Structure 1
């Protein structure tokens, strides 16, 4: 996956977190984001974003990063 494609995944994850945030606790938002990723993201997309947080995940917002961590633990 190219850097451009990875940047797009990061942007999408952050947008999903922003859109699903309704002033709820971060855990609730992260659960919603993880559920969205499970249902709608291709396996290759999920694998890439999981690898990204293993490296550092610096550009992911807190809720998105937590969602990817939840996604990672659910897939192992």
Structure 2
């Protein structure tokens, strides 16, 4: 799901940084805390299935 959101929001953003911010903000607003924790843990352990944009957005969740 993170990859799909990243792909959808990437098209309207001006830069990769803007797109990562938009994806992270979407996750903060609409995803359950447990989903965000699980995704952050997945990124720390491997994250191999995440697109580069989704990876950056998840990394920004922890900031």
Alignment gaps of 5+ in structure 2: none
Alignment gaps of 5+ in structure 1: 1-11
Deviation of the 1:24 alpha carbon = 3.2
1:27 to 17, 25, 33: 17
Give the structure-1-normalised TM-score: 0.77
User: Are 1:58 and 2:60 an aligned pair?
Assistant: no
Alignment root-mean-square deviation, CA: 1.1
Corresponding residue SS for 2:62: helix
Deviation of the 1:25 alpha carbon = 1.8
Residue by residue over 1:7-33, the C-alpha shift from the partner in whole angstroms, topping out at 9 and shown as x without a partner, is: xxxxx1000000001263211111000
Q: Structure 2 matches for 1:1-76, cutoff 5 A?
A: 12-22=1-11, 24-73=14-63
Corresponding residue SS for 2:23: helix
Instruction: List structure 1 segments (4+ residues) > 4 angstroms apart after TM superposition.
Output: none
Q: How far apart are the structure 2 equivalents of 1:24 and 1:41?
A: 24
